Structure 1
Amino acid sequence: MRKLLLFILVASFMFLFGCSAFLPKEEPTTPVTSEQQPPKAEETKDTPNVTKPTEPAISNSNEDLADAFSNYLDDIVVLAPEEERLIGLYDSVTGVNYVDDETMYYTLVDEVLPGYRQFVIDLEAIMPKNQEIRDLHETYIDAANIQYNAFAIMIAALEEQDSNKMTEANQGLDEARQLIRDWLYGVEDLSSKTGVSLE
């Protein structure tokens, strides 16, 4: 279920921004290696009695991170269908589905913008306790806020028939896309680091 909803979330973002392929999984797993090295160094410096207490602490720390990450994914998965719906509405009046400015305008004003504002509020309500996950989540929040603002600028561009504002809105969508890409890489990294499957 989690895999399906994360797939929907990723596909929605990629579809919105015209991407045709998913991100390559080329990120190294050095964070895992760097965490594993310090305990080995301690083992060579310290007596075996000192090493024994540190091993469970590291294990518990990894388990805590894995639990926190799993809970975070569960929270994100709950919001994925609403974001997919909103992006689907946006897509239904843009690109090849564009009919006219009026249809696009009222869809953005009546449905996409208010719905996406609530989505951002719900996204901001997720407050992970783990700092690493919190930092990752802030990237997603930043992307969602930039995307929300891009929708608002797009509405203003339609009202004023201003091509410069439409360009600004599209630049905002591009910036949001890059942040979402960064967030997705971070999710993949944490999945590798914690062993929490995205499937």
Structure 2
Amino acid sequence: MKKLLLFVFVSSLMFLFGCSAFFGSKEVPATPVTSSEQPIKTEETKTIETPKITEPTINNSNDNLADAFTSYMDEIFLLAPEEDRLISLYGSVTGANYTDDATMYYTLVDEVLPGYRQFVVDLEAIRPKNQEIRDLHELYIDAANVQYNAFVIMIDALEEQDGNKIAEANQGLDEARQLIRQWLYGVEDLSAKTGVSLE
């Protein structure tokens, strides 16, 4: 988490420096400004109005993006515990926790697959209005569908005792992990861009 916070902090600083360089590029009027804001008389007795210098209005277009991103993350945080439960359930019968094919098979068929299918349905029900967030969310949906399909292939592999299908399922799980990683990077980027905390 500290690494994530450091990344968010560094990205935020880079964003702030980028903004300050942009705002600093405005030209400053050459006419001097007096504190009384009175016209200045020249030698020919013409009156020249001193322009009033006001602070530029900064239209923070990130406000709407920040609100949309906050709403999006609130929806994701509601689904996160269920996905975590299902992935933990899968992990409880694979790898170092593997005991036998039957235990793994029935855990996948009875719990992981139906639960993850519902998770994908709930994930697809989230429809961000902001295009940037929608594109990011599509990446998450793609990852979830790839992972779901990998679980289906894993079940087939166990039923058929097919080593090639197990390799195919593992490849699908790796692809899903890569897509999730891309999604997380996008989330971190939007967090830095909008200033919305991920905690």
TM-score, with structure 2 as normaliser: 0.76
- Does residue 166 of the first structure (1) align with residue 189 of the second (2)? no
Q: 1-side partners of 2:6 and 2:171: how far apart?
A: 26
Higher helix share: 1
Distance change in 2, residues 1:24/1:75 (3 Å)? closer
Which residue matches 1:180? 180
Q: 1-side partners of 2:175 and 2:164: how far apart?
A: 17
Q: For structure 1, list consecutive stretches of 5 or more residues without a partner in the other structure.
A: 1-6, 8-21
Q: 2-side partners of 1:23 and 1:177: how far apart?
A: 18
How far is 1:89 from its partner? Answer: 1.1
How far is 1:34 from its partner? Answer: 6.3
How far is 1:115 from its partner? Answer: 0.5
Count of equivalent residues: 174
Which residue matches 2:191? 191
Distance change in 2, residues 1:63/1:75 (3 Å)? same
Q: 1-side partners of 2:6 and 2:198: how far apart?
A: 13
Which residue matches 1:63? 63
* Aligned residues of 2:15 and 2:192 also touching (Cα < 8 A): no
Distance change in 2, residues 1:24/1:164 (3 Å)? farther
- Considering only aligned residues, what root-mean-square deviation do their CA atoms show, in Å? 2.8
Between 24-33 and 176-185, the greater mean CA deviation after superposition: 24-33
Distance change in 2, residues 1:66/1:88 (3 Å)? same
Q: 1-side partners of 2:158 and 2:4: how far apart?
A: 32
- Does residue 153 of the first structure (1) align with residue 153 of the second (2)? yes
Structure 1 segments (4+ residues) deviating >2 Å = 22-41
* Aligned residues of 1:154 and 1:169 also touching (Cα < 8 A): yes
Within a 5 Å distance, the mapping from 1:15-26 to structure 2 comes to none
* Aligned residues of 1:32 and 1:193 also touching (Cα < 8 A): no
- Greater gyration radius: 2
Within a 5 Å distance, the mapping from 1:1-199 to structure 2 comes to 29=11, 43-44=26-27, 52=56, 55-56=58-59, 59=60, 61-199=61-199
Q: For structure 2, list consecutive stretches of 5 or more residues without a partner in the other structure.
A: 29-51
* Aligned residues of 1:142 and 1:179 also touching (Cα < 8 A): yes
Which residue matches 1:18? none
How far is 1:33 from its partner? Answer: 6.4
Residue 121 of structure 2 aligns to a residue in which SS?
helix
Distance change in 2, residues 1:33/1:165 (3 Å)? farther
How far is 1:88 from its partner? Answer: 1.3
> Taking every aligned residue pair, what percent have the same amino acid on both sides?
67
Q: 1-side partners of 2:182 and 2:73: how far apart?
A: 16
- Structure with the bigger RCO (C-alpha within 8 Å, sep 6+) is 1
